Each structure stands twice: as C-alpha cells, then as structure tokens.
C-alpha cells in the first residue's frame, strides 16, 4: 500500500520565491489593468489648480464613443517638489472620491469611475459644457444683458435641489460659487467640485479643526468671517443667496478684498465683512442672539453703523419681483438659525408663480452660450505618472540588487 502510494503520489514541489514576491504580482496586476488612455481619448485640458488638472475626454468603447467626460488628475502628495519624495494620496483627494462614490443625483456631478495608475489617481466624471461663472460673464460682457427670470429661477431651483440632496445625506459642500455650478448642454444644473465637502454627522471633532478656512471669500458667510468654530449647512445657503444676487446683478454682491493668510494665525477679513454690512446693515444682538459668542465679535466695534439696505440694492439692480427679494432676504440672514434651509427654500412662493420652472434652463432663451474652452496643446495625461513609474522601476532594481548582495 505504501509502495503504491509512493509511486502514484509525487511530493508537491515548492513554488519559486519569485512567484510570491511583490514584483511579479504587481506586474501581473498592471498587465491585467486597463490604462486610462485605453478607455478614453484626451481632447485637451480644462483647468488646473492646487489639486492638479482637469481634462476633457471622450470614450473609446462602442457604448460611449459619443460621450464626453471630465478627468480630474490629482497631484501626488509630496513633501516638496521632488518626485522622489512621494508620500501618498492627499487627504482632499481621498475625501472627494469617497463622497462622490456614494452620491447619485441629477443635480450633482456624477462620478463614472476611479482609475489608479502609476501612483496617480484619475477621477472620471460626467462632462458639463458650461458653468455659471461662464454664463454670468457672457451676460455681463461687453454690456450688461440680464438673465431672463425663467432661466434664473430654473437655475436656482436646481441648485437647491442638488444642495437639498447633499444636506439630506449629511454632506456640507463648503465651496459653493458660480465656478463650481455646472450646466450641461441639455440645460441640467449640477453641483460640482466636492474637494472641500465633508460629512457633518457623528463628528469626532469640529469641522473647523480639519479645515480652518472654507468657502471662497466673496461667498463666505458672516459666522465664518466672525471665526465660528461650530457651523452648520446654513453656510451653503448663504453662498446660494450670494449666487442668486450675482445672477440678478451679474456681479458679486459682496466683492471684498481678501487679507493674506498668515502661517501663524488667520487674519480677520475686515473688508469682506464691511461689504456685507454696507448692504445688509450692522448686525445686532437683538436680531442675532448668538452674535456675542463668536471669537471675532469685538471686531464689529471697528465699523460704522449701517442701516439695512438690501431692498434698495435689489431695486437698483433692476429687481422688481417681491417674492424674489423675499427669497434673497431669507437666504442672506445674518443668524444661521434664521436662514432658510434648502428644503424650505424649494417651497418658496417665488418658484410657484409664473413664469414656470423648466427642467432645461435654456428653454425659451435665444442666447447662444460659448462652450467651455479647452487647451489642446496639453493632452499628455500620463507625463507625470510615467516619471513616477520610472522612479519605481529604478527603486525595484536597486532593491533587487540589495537583496542579492545580502543573500
């Protein structure tokens, strides 16, 4: 019996060390993974910033050849400008990706997929041909051409729908402004750029602890300007009020000059708060009960006393609709507790009166808006990634040589 066993069953051979080592495993995974350039054709880049670059692309498969995408290539987080000091994925990128993967709403930019390639992250999203900043610029240059009320009302309603969805899912955007509000060629408004967005339920620490400065200065709420350590989604509704005012007047309502941020401490944004006080009047403890609790409350003594002036501003900009003024006033309330929520704003009387809201915000307008410009001289999506790849290969060779010498 033992003899038969020995003849028929051969001892199992030990697999080579190479099979289980990380190098060959990584090589096999890389070979099986589709490159971002295998899936998409890069048409040019849209914009660049501290996070990296955003490219416009089209699909390569039969199903999506006629579809356009925005590809955000995140910068590598490093200790300095040297590529060799690669430290991993930035916190902002991780936050934005994790949030976008959970979201699905018609009025929020939809994430298509995430591609990780050669230590770079590519976030592929649906592409929108326009943004509100571009639309406002078209109406204000060279001459002021007011946005018709139906279009204006439809834009704002869709912004509020998207924001209501975010807030109902415990997400605060923290950077709403015209440049971050996209509009598709079908006239659908979509909230984009969730790089500063955060979940605000079950917080282990305050939102202020993680990010000392949020919201672009012209759209920053008074509680943030007064140094609030605790704040609510009401900061997003203040920004919506600023956007409504900008759609009406075709210029920012509170266009202050930002004081430069010192590394040691955050400066008080005196000029920005002054711009707000000049139009809304000087806040008082009577109208804003928690006013004295803010760290920068004492700074208010620097300002002259101004009366409320929003109604006069509204009429000077050509505004006539009382309900529109009412909504604007309710969004630009000093006390965040008195500010309308996104859900309440959607039920405002202004949206129920004529002209009716349209799903396509371009309906009944004859204006031809220029599509977003792309720069076609830079379509090299993988240039930085390739440098990382080469460095990785050099390190692998060096490590392999070191192992052999030790052996």
Cross-strand pairs, 57: 42, 69
* Fold held by 130-352: Transferase(Phosphotransferase); domain 1 (1.10.510)
Q: pTM of the prediction?
A: 0.84
Q: Which two tokens stand for residue 33?
A: 């993974």
2 φ/ψ sector (left φ>0, alpha ψ -120 to 50, else beta): alpha
3-class secondary-structure state, position 403: helix
pLDDT at 407: 44
Hey, CA dihedral for 281, 282, 286, 290, is it positive or negative? positive
Cβ neighbours of 405 (radius 10 Å): 7
- Report domain extents, the chain: 38-127, 130-352
Structure letter (DSSP) for residue 186: T
C-alpha 234: how far from chain center:
17
Q: Indicate if 130-352 has the same CATH topology as 38-127.
A: no
CA angle 30, 35, 39 (to 5 degrees): 150
pLDDT in the model for residue 9? 54
Give Cβ neighbours of residue 101 (< 8 Å, ≥ 6 apart).
111, 114
Could you give the CA distance from residue 324 to residue 357 in angstroms, rounded to a whole number?
14
Please confirm whether the linkage preceding 285 is cis (ω < 30° from 0): no
Could you say which of 1.10.599.10, 3.30.565.10, 3.30.200.20, 3.40.30.10 is the CATH number of the domain covering 38-127? 3.30.200.20
Contact 176, 271 (CB under 8 A): no
Q: What is the pLDDT of residue 195?
A: 87
What positions carry a catalytic annotation? 175
- The strand order across the sheet containing 68-74 reads 40-49, 52-59, 68-74, 120-126, 111-117
Q: What is the pLDDT, as a whole number, of residue 396?
A: 42
pLDDT in tens, the chain (407 residues): 555 445 555 555 555 555 556 667 666 666 667 889 989 999 998 887 667 789 999 999 877 878 999 999 987 655 444 444 556 677 778 888 889 999 999 999 999 999 988 778 899 999 999 999 999 999 999 999 999 999 999 999 999 999 999 999 999 999 999 999 999 999 999 999 998 999 998 766 777 776 878 999 999 999 999 999 999 999 999 999 999 999 999 999 999 999 988 767 889 999 999 999 999 999 999 999 999 999 999 999 999 999 999 999 999 999 999 999 999 999 999 999 999 999 999 999 999 999 999 999 999 998 999 988 888 776 777 664 444 344 344 444 444 454 444 44
Task: Answer for the pair 158, 361: CB distance below 8 angstroms, yes or no.
Answer: yes
């Amino acid at each position: 019996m033992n003899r038969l066993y020995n003849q028929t069953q051969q001892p199992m051979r030990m697999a080579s060390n190479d099979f289980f080592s990380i190098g060959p495993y990584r090589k096999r995974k890389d070979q099986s993974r589709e490159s971002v350039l295998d899936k998409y054709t890069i048409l040019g880049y849209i914009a660049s910033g501290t996070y990296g670059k955003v490219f416009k692309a089209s699909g390569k498969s039969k199903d999506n050849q006629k579809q356009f995408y925005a590809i955000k290539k995140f910068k590598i987080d490093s200790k300095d400008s040297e590529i060799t000091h690669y430290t991993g994925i930035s916190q902002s990128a991780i936050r934005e990706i994790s949030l976008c993967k959970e979201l699905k709403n018609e009025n929020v930019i939809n994430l298509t997929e995430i591609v990780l390639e050669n230590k770079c992250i590519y976030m592929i999203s649906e592409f929108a041909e326009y943004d509100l900043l571009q639309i406002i610029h078209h109406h204000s240059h060279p001459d002021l051409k007011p946005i018709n009320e139906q279009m204006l009302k439809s834009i704002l309603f869709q912004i509020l729908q998207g924001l209501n969805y975010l807030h109902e899912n415990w997400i605060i955007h923290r950077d709403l402004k015209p440049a971050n509000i996209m509009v598709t060629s079908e006239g659908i408004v979509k909230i984009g750029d969730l790089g500063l967005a955060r979940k605000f339920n079950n917080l282990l620490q305050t939102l202020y602890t993680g990010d000392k400065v949020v919201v672009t200065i012209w759209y920053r709420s008074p509680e943030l300007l007064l140094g609030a350590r605790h704040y609510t989604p009401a900061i997003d509704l203040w920004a919506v009020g600023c956007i409504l005012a900008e759609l009406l007047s075709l210029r920012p309502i509170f266009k202050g000059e930002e004081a430069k941020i010192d590394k040691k401490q955050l400066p008080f944004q005196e000029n920005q708060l002054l711009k707000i006080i000049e139009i809304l009047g000087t806040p008082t403890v009577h109208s804003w009960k928690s006013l004295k609790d803010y760290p920068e409350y004492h700074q208010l003594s620097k300002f002259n006393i101004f009366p409320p002036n929003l109604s006069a501003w509204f009429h000077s900009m050509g505004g006539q609709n009382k309900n529109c003024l009412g909504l604007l006033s309710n969004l630009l309330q000093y006390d965040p507790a008195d500010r309308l929520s996104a859900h309440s704003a959607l039920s405002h009387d202004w949206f129920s009166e004529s002209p009716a809201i349209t799903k396509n915000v371009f309906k009944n307008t004859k204006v031809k808006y220029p599509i977003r410009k792309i720069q076609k001289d830079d379509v090299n999506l993988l240039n930085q990634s390739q440098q990382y790849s080469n460095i990785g290969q050099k390190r692998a060779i060096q490590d392999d040589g070191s192992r052999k010498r030790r052996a």
